[in-house]
Amino acid sequence: MRCTLVMTGRRVGRLAMVVVLWSAALCAALGVAGDWPAQAAGFHKVLFLGNSITLHGPAPAIGWLGNWGMAASTEQKDFVHLVAAELAKSSGTAPGLMVKNIAEFERNYATYDPAVKLKEAFTFGADLVIVAIGENVPPLQSEEAKAQFKAGLLKVLRGLKDGSQPTIVVRSCFWPNKAKDDVLRRACREVGGIFVDIGPLGKEESNFARSERAFKHAGVGAHPGDKGMRAIADAILKKVNRLPTTLP
């Protein structure tokens, strides 16, 4: 048995929204699976903050010539553009995109100043932010390190919330790491964000680029390939698609 709610058009009235939310709550209370569509009104501006999996410029020394998420075979096949394409399909309009590599924050989270380094991102006015970091964070081997990473991350997430009040999605590491993922999850929850656990994807060899083609540099091949990028995008979209339709 499934509860299926169908809404058409780009917007619904407040009464319809009340019905949707009440129905969803009823389905949950009854233990019945819910099935409702993506946010019909769509997202107009989407900000991606990540590392090389999100965006990496050409690096001939390691055999990487792309300027998109390493190591997708084309720009259209990295998770950023797969997510953007699906959001455009559901809303009928391609969202404005800002994609930033913030590996500097990962490596220097204790001293990184988001107000300065991310000023452009904070003023972009995104209504959806996808944070895809963690892989470059040094091992969190002490409680102090974990606390510092969380404090730095909260500065970033709260800076984003102070602007356009976007929906925030934080995903776990592609290469699973309990200490890092726990911090990502807790910080995400503190700002009312949506956490996406992609850890299982990094345990499946077929999701790595090295399983699809040969690479000069092992580090590049250890990134998600086309299949892995698709899986990351699907995991994010699955959560985003559960959001209720925006009110008028």
pLDDT digits (tens), the chain, 248 positions: 334 333 333 333 333 333 333 344 434 343 433 333 334 347 999 999 999 999 999 999 999 999 999 999 999 999 999 999 999 998 889 999 999 999 999 999 999 999 999 999 999 999 999 999 999 999 999 999 999 999 999 999 999 998 789 999 999 999 999 999 999 999 999 999 999 999 999 999 999 999 999 999 999 999 999 999 999 999 999 999 887 654 33
Based on the fold, state whether residues 105 and 223 are members of the same structural domain. Answer: yes
Based on the fold, state whether residues 139 and 22 are members of the same structural domain. Answer: no
* Residue 23 located in a structural domain: yes
Based on the fold, state whether residues 127 and 67 are members of the same structural domain. Answer: yes
Based on the fold, state whether residues 228 and 117 are members of the same structural domain. Answer: yes
Q: State which residues form the domain around 12.
A: 1-36
Based on the fold, state whether residues 64 and 165 are members of the same structural domain. Answer: yes
* Residue 169 located in a structural domain: yes
Residue 164 pLDDT? 82
Residue 244 pLDDT? 67
Residue 180 pLDDT? 98
Cα–Cα distance between 230 and 68 in angstroms, integer?
14
Q: Element (H or E) spanning 88, and its range?
A: helix 79-91
Based on the fold, state whether residues 137 and 96 are members of the same structural domain. Answer: yes
* Residue 248 located in a structural domain: no
Based on the fold, state whether residues 9 and 85 are members of the same structural domain. Answer: no
Based on the fold, state whether residues 84 and 188 are members of the same structural domain. Answer: yes
Contacts of 47 (CB under 8 A, 6+ apart): 97, 98, 99, 100, 121, 124, 126, 128, 129, 130, 160, 166
* Residue 246 located in a structural domain: no
